[in-house]
């Protein structure tokens, strides 16, 4: 069977994702079930997916991992990802992280990165460094979402910023889909989109829990939280 | 040279059957895998997914009929016609079966989460089938012009 239809059974077994990542419905497939379904991937593709997770998931980007180490990780795995047809996906997502990093660094008053400094990803690193003081680093026409993201960042609207970045990623992944191929790239696109839905639901759940706890604390005053196990 | 011409004649005679069958094998395998995957995510409608996945098998039948319509003694006089008609009809049947399998897989993938579009989602596969039927019918028509001896 050609690589084109390599994962037709896997993709047909995955439920459709919602129209946007911001829907209120529960996740169409749980993380455990998704991981179980993805066991059908070949060893090489499973390695690539794991490498993708390490590159993109914030859990693997602790404070002890320097930018140089992260860039080196990317350079080590990039050839394998390109070979499996997902190099452009990860590069675009990492370049988006880089642009957000640049906006945040500049807002904190950091100077432009030195030439040759490993501070991000993508083919426009030098260009961004050169145009550090330009409002959109001279790449505004290439990344139309950047102007709105800068507005949100400068007006301290983190939720709106996150929502915009999610929306942009969701739209871009939708455009990258090729519904007739059923190959590894389509599996990765599904996985990335599922992560967006799951992440947004997690944010909502965490925010709801925070609000609930704050309301309880406000309502009970100094009497403490019931059933907290501290005997109060 | 004469032996080569005769061999090509035989290839043209058996070609529509073999190529149609190869196309059906690939097409049914693609659509069948999609149907099996969809079974995991659906509670009902399993039969129609499996039925749809068998759609590319018709090209094998067309290939058999074309082969019988071409059947005649393979000689230097008939080989060129047998080879040309048989091979081209076979390639058309093969491609239509493979791409029909792909269309069926997409239809199954879409209809599993939106059952109300099942009928409409089959339309592209039916259109592809239509082109296979064109190749089949006109192979029958044109085979009448190939000399019998």
Closest approach of A20 to chain B, Cα-based (Å): 16
Residue B118 lies in a domain: yes
pLDDT digits (tens, 9 = 90+) for B14-33: 999 999 999 999 999 999 99
Residue range A99-115: average pLDDT? 90
pLDDT bucket at A222, cuts 50 / 70 / 90? low
pLDDT at res. A177: 86
> Measured between alpha carbons, how far is A185 from A86 in angstroms, rounded to an integer?
6
Rounded mean pLDDT of chain A?
Answer: 86
Q: What is the DSSP string of B8-21?
A: HHHHHHHHHHHHHH
**Cβ contact A12–B34 (<8 Å):** yes
Contact A100, A166 (CB under 8 A): no
Contact B96, B135 (CB under 8 A): yes
CATH no. for residue B32?
1.20.120.610
B114 Cβ under 8 Å from any chain A Cβ = yes
> Measured between alpha carbons, how far is A75 from A176 in angstroms, rounded to an integer?
23
> Maximum distance among all alpha carbons in chain A?
67
- Residue of A17, A36, A35 lying closest to A27 (CA atoms): A17
A81 Cβ under 8 Å from any chain B Cβ = no
> Measured between alpha carbons, how far is A104 from A99 in angstroms, rounded to an integer?
9
Q: Which two tokens stand for residue A7?
A: 């994962």
Contact B102, A5 (CB under 8 A): yes
pLDDT at res. A116: 79
pLDDT at res. A57: 82
Residue B62 lies in a domain: yes
> Measured between alpha carbons, how far is A162 from B31 in angstroms, rounded to an integer?
39
Q: Which residue in chain B is spatially nearest to A11 when comparing CA positions?
A: B37
Residue B149 lies in a domain: no
**Cβ contact B34–A16 (<8 Å):** no
> Measured between alpha carbons, how far is B20 from B132 in angstroms, rounded to an integer?
10
pLDDT digits (tens, 9 = 90+) for A190-212: 999 999 999 988 877 776 777 77
pLDDT bucket at A223, cuts 50 / 70 / 90? low
A24 Cβ under 8 Å from any chain B Cβ = no
Contact B97, B132 (CB under 8 A): yes
pLDDT digits (tens, 9 = 90+) for A33-58: 999 999 999 999 999 999 999 888 87
Contacts of A37 in chain B (CB under 8 A): 40
Tokens 């690939």 appear where? B26
Q: Which of A39-48, A98-107, A151-160, A218-227 has the lowest mean pLDDT?
A: A218-227
**Cβ contact B112–A12 (<8 Å):** yes
At residue B92, φ and ψ (nearest 5 deg) are -60, -40
Measure the N-to-C terminal CA separation of chain B; round to a whole number of Å.
Answer: 19
B38 Cβ under 8 Å from any chain A Cβ = yes
A40 SS3 class: helix
> Measured between alpha carbons, how far is B84 from A54 in angstroms, rounded to an integer?
56
pLDDT at res. A232: 39
A34 sits in which H/E element? helix A31-37
ipTM: 0.78
**Is A231 a residue whose pLDDT tops 60?**
no
Residue ranges of chain B with pLDDT lower than 70?
A: none
Contact A68, A30 (CB under 8 A): no
Contacts of B102 in chain A (CB under 8 A): 5, 180
pLDDT at res. A2: 46
Residue B56 DSSP symbol: G
**What's the gap between Cα A100 and its chain centre?**
12
Residue B38 lies in a domain: yes
pLDDT digits (tens, 9 = 90+) for A117-127: 888 888 888 89
Contact A12, B35 (CB under 8 A): yes
Smallest Cβ distance to B38: which of A13, A179, A182?
A13
At residue A142, φ and ψ (nearest 5 deg) are -75, -35
pLDDT at res. A214: 77
Q: How many domains does chain B have?
A: 1
**What's the gap between Cα A55 and its chain centre?**
10
pLDDT at res. B120: 93
Contact B78, B146 (CB under 8 A): yes
Neighbours of B30 (CB within 10 A): 29
Smallest Cβ distance to A5: which of B30, B39, B114?
B30
pLDDT at res. A117: 81
Interface test with A, best of B109, B114, B116 (most A CBs within 10 A): B109
At residue A228, φ and ψ (nearest 5 deg) are -85, -10
Interface test with A, best of B22, B25, B26, B33 (most A CBs within 10 A): B33
pLDDT at res. A148: 94
Alpha carbon dihedral A76, A78, A82, A84, in 10-degree steps, equals 60
Domain locations along chain A: 22-209
Q: Which of A163-167, A215-219, A221-225, B130-134 has the lowest mean pLDDT?
A: A221-225
> Measured between alpha carbons, how far is A43 from A51 in angstroms, rounded to an integer?
12
**Is A146 a residue whose pLDDT tops 70?**
yes
Smallest Cβ distance to B106: which of A13, A15, A179?
A179
A14 SS3 class: coil
Tokens 């290939």 appear where? B63
Residue B148 lies in a domain: no
Structural domain span for residue B116:
2-143
Q: What stretches of A17-145 show up as alpha helix (H) in DSSP?
A: 31-37, 43-56, 67-83, 87-107, 125-130
């Amino acid at each position: 069977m050609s690589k084109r239809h390599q994962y037709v059974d896997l993709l047909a077994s995955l439920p459709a994702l919602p129209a946007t990542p911001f829907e209120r419905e529960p996740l169409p497939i749980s993380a455990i079930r998704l991981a179980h379904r993805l066991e059908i991937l070949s060893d090489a593709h499973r390695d690539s997916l794991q490498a993708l997770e390490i590159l993109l998931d914030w859990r693997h980007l602790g404070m002890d991992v320097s930018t140089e180490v992260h860039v080196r990780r990317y350079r080590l795995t990039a050839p394998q990802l390109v070979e499996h047809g997902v190099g452009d996906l990860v590069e675009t997502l990492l370049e988006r992280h880089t642009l957000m990093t640049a906006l945040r660094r500049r807002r904190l008053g950091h100077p432009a990165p030195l030439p040759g400094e490993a501070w991000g990803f993508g083919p426009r690193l030098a260009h961004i460094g050169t145009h550090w003081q330009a409002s959109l680093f001279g790449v505004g026409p290439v990344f139309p979402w950047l102007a709105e993201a800068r507005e949100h960042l400068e007006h301290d609207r983190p939720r709106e910023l996150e929502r915009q970045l999610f929306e942009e990623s969701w739209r871009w992944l939708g455009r990258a889909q090729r519904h007739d191929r059923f190959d590894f790239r389509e599996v990765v696109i599904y996985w990335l989109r599922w992560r967006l839905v799951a992440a947004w639901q997690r944010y909502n759940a965490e925010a709801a829990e925070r609000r609930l706890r704050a309301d309880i604390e406000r309502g009970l005053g100094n009497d403490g939280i019931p059933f907290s196990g501290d005997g109060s | 040279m004469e032996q080569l011409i005769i061999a090509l004649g035989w290839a043209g005679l058996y070609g529509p059957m073999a190529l149609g069958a190869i196309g059906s094998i690939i097409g049914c395998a693609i659509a069948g895998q999609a149907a099996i995957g969809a079974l995991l995510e659906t509670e009902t409608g399993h039969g129609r997914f499996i039925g749809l996945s068998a759609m590319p098998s018709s090209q094998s039948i067309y290939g058999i009929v074309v082969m019988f319509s071409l059947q005649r003694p393979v000689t230097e006089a008939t080989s060129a016609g047998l080879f040309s008609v048989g091979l081209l009809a076979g390639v058309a049947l093969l491609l239509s079966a493979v791409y029909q399998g792909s269309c069926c897989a997409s239809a199954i993938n879409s209809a599993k989460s939106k059952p109300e579009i099942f009928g409409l989602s089959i339309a592209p596969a039916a259109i592809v089938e239509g082109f296979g039927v064109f190749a089949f019918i006109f192979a029958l028509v044109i085979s009448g012009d190939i000399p019998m001896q």
